[in-house]
Amino acid sequence: MELNNLTPAAGSVKTAKRVGRGAGSGLGGTSTRGHKGAQSRSGYSKKIGFEGGQMPMQRRLPKFGFKNINRVEYKAINLNILQQLADERKLEVIGLPELFEAGFINKSALVKILGNGTLTAKLTVKANAFSKKAEEAITAAGGTIEKI
């Protein structure tokens, strides 16, 4: 085997379809574009949402709702996750870096601690927001909260 006699495996290389190269090729004439119409012409590009002349969906459906630009999205973390972190990693202080390291949040997330589950560990919890139930549960277990 040498460089001058290398060939690709049989069936792995297909020849390009040469359209518009005369009637004898079988792909001349309309060049596989059909007869007339916008799609047969050069420079044609279908508009986004075009449905062949039928009233498009974005015009059939009514407008509704709005996007509140002042909305603040929090990543919800429950008490049972805090308890799990305290048990597995022997933590006394749980903040955003610890939650990120454990894979519960991403770097830019705002965190709200919610009161689902039980907490027995005495923890100092640092987060952006707390629910009332979560605050009560953390202080009842002997811990403290710090709003960032």
Q: Say if residue 38 is in the same domain as residue 86.
A: no
Q: Say if residue 49 is in the same domain as residue 83.
A: no
Domain span at residue 23? 17-57
pLDDT of residue 91: 84
State the Cα–Cα distance between residues 2 and 17, nearest whole angstrom: 31
Asked if 27 and 21 touch (Cβ cutoff 8 Å), the reply is: yes
Whether residue 2 lies inside any domain: the answer is no
Instruction: Give the total number of structural domains in the chain.
Output: 2
What does residue 146 show for φ and ψ, rounded to 5 degrees?
-135, 120
Q: What is the pLDDT of residues 96-136, one digit of tens each?
A: 999 999 999 999 999 999 999 999 989 899 999 999 999 99
Residue 13 has pLDDT above 90, yes or no: yes
Whether residue 62 lies inside any domain: the answer is no
Q: Say if residue 86 is in the same domain as residue 134.
A: yes
Q: Say if residue 33 is in the same domain as residue 86.
A: no
State the Cα–Cα distance between residues 118 and 62, nearest whole angstrom: 46
pLDDT of residue 89: 87
Q: Say if residue 32 is in the same domain as residue 88.
A: no
